[in-house]
Chain A
Amino acid sequence: MTKILVLDPDSCTSCRLCELACSQRNFGVFRPSLSHIRVAINAEDAFYFPMVCIQCDDAPCIEECPTEALVRDPDTNAVVVVEENCTECGLCESACPYGAIRVFDGRAHKCDLCGGDPECVRFCAAGALRYESGESWPREQRQAYAEQLRNLAEEVKA
């Protein structure tokens, strides 16, 4: 059975160690602005929310990519970027409903679950990020997550 990255926003404390760990692991620099995982923080409302690719089963980024630069890793079930196929077209970025892919420095960037050992999870002491057995996010959970993101977007706008 594969594992999935479980997000538990209620346990998040807004420390952003996940962003630091992710950027260091993937880019060799402590630079939250590059991190695949981002904690949305609305301090006023004590609202903290980790946002990262949830590796959808029917991933729109894979469907939209015209050059097969996004493929499923059979071992981890993560959607990964094939760098040499990527043309920076940005279709994946607009297709992702969760804002979990960004295109910069000549290619798409997204969470690949660190090949099955997510660094963010190792640094999350609060238990807001966990890597646990499971097939993939069930539909209801994905819908709930999308709903929370939508609420967040509205709050930020307001």
Chain B
Amino acid sequence: MTSSVQPVTKPTREKSRGIFTALPAAIWLAIFFVLPLLIVFIMSFMSTGRGGRAVMPLTIENYVDVFDRFISVVQRSLWIGLLTTLVCLLVGYPLAFFISTRKSAGMRNLSLFLIILPFWTNFLVRTYALQTILGNDGTINGFLQSIGLISEPIAFLNTPEAVIIGLVYGFLPFMVLPIYASVERFDFRYVEAAHDLGANDLWAFIRIVFPMTLPGVIAGFILVFIPAIGTFVTSDLLGGTRGLMIGNLIQQQFRNNQPLGSALSIVLMGMVMIALLIYIRYGDQENS
């Protein structure tokens, strides 16, 4: 049911005091976020000088470069980001559904605890561990060889697939948690209503459960896609040159070509912004 809560107008004094409470954060963000962003934005339109420094005059050459020379890396980043998100969704939705439909609260809490347990270990350490597992002398190849399934090790490492495995592992909780929250809120009487009207379980899921838990899915999508597309640790350690992503490129270019690095950063940010706009448009429909 909709509850119509009357908006309470706070006294003006309260409002003005509200500004002061946000002031420290505003100053912090102005100095360490808005200012660097502006610098990067301006640099992305500057020419490259000695030692890769940004110099005048202004030019759009860097952007031409991004779309000329590095378009494959941009595409790969998008592709890896999307695939990672998709795999997280396919794995995470059933998991979130399973957890949130457990009857006992103890079971639910234990499951959620297990989901966030990996965060207790540093992400870098976990990625190195994955390197060990996926490597040519690693756990998986060792096992497959010992049972005689393969004679030569499979090259898991230094492929885009390895990057996706690493990213899915790292970001799965970000998909599971918002979907969990959505399914938890979902009232299963709607499924009864759907059954009553002739929908079997599959149709009830497609037409009722999934659309009604979509806000959680979209939130999870954003929470996975944004960090996945901009990753550089995972792709650096697991992807090699074939798994090179825009994040790695930015890191490289800031060493020897700052304006190009800046342009790459702005392009990455543009992609993130598009994702966020989609989220704003569709993500929180229920409350709008």
Do chains A and B interact in one complex? no
- Listed in ascending order, the chain B residues whose CB lies under 8 Å from chain A are none
